[in-house]
């Protein structure tokens, strides 16, 4: 772009004709004063209002661009993590788990079920297998794959059941040890 700074700012629409003339006049008067005070030597003129406005606009634009780039980068990282999760689940999902037992689990506030074989049900109950959300459904994956998914996005996994023995007092734990609660009653 050829032309003076004022011409460029006018073309962009940051200043109008009156402000440009006033700034040019102020700059000329200041240069005359500096010349008379310094005996002909020019001192660096202070930034005019329009130049300060232009610098402020440029700074704001740089801040806005930096923020947009940061948001874009975060979105790309999130997409990459989701793609990694899909690959982990696709590579590690257990095939042929369908059986005659129903395994009930909570997904948020909803109670869901999977028809599984008895050995799969037992492994799900003990925590050696986990359930993951995948393509609008649920799949069973090993605990090793679940740990990899937890590092990327914990919301992709269904939380395990509430069988936390650490919440039970020690005296009650000994008493209730003789009364195991089955995962699912088969009638």
How is the chain split into domains, by residue range? 5-38+47-84, 93-176
pLDDT for residue 165: 54
What's the pLDDT at 176?
Answer: 78
CA distance 8 to 30: 22
Extract the runs of DSSP E, i.e. beta strands, from the chain. Answer: 101-107, 110-116, 129-134, 137-142
Each residue's pLDDT tens digit in the chain (187 positions)? 567 777 777 787 777 878 778 888 888 888 888 776 655 444 445 557 888 888 999 999 999 999 999 999 999 999 999 999 999 999 999 998 888 888 888 888 888 999 999 999 888 888 889 999 888 889 999 999 999 999 998 888 988 865 555 566 777 777 877 777 666 655 5
Predicted confidence at residue 19, as pLDDT, reads 78
User: Which SS3 state, helix, strand or coil, does residue 163 take?
Assistant: coil
Question: If we measure between CA atoms, which residue out of 120, 122, 151, 126 comes closest to residue 138?
Answer: 120
């Amino acid at each position: 772009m050829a032309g003076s700074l004022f011409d460029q700012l006018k073309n962009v629409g940051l200043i109008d004709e009156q402000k440009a003339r006033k700034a040019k006049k102020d700059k000329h008067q200041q240069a005359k004063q500096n010349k008379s005070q310094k005996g002909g030597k020019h001192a660096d003129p202070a930034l005019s209002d329009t130049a300060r406005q232009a610098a402020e606009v440029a700074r704001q634009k740089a801040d806005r661009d930096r923020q947009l780039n940061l948001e874009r980068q975060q979105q790309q990282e999130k997409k990459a993590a989701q793609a990694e999760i899909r690959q982990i689940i696709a590579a590690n999902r257990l095939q042929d788990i369908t059986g005659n037992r129903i395994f009930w689990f909570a997904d948020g506030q909803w109670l869901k079920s999977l028809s599984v074989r008895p050995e799969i049900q037992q492994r799900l109950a003990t925590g050696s297998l986990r359930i993951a959300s995948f393509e609008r459904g649920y799949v069973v994956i090993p605990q090793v794959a679940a740990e990899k998914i937890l590092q990327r996005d914990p919301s992709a996994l269904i939380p395990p059941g509430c069988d936390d023995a650490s919440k039970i007092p020690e005296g009650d734990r000994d008493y209730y040890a003789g009364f195991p609660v089955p995962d699912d009653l088969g009638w």
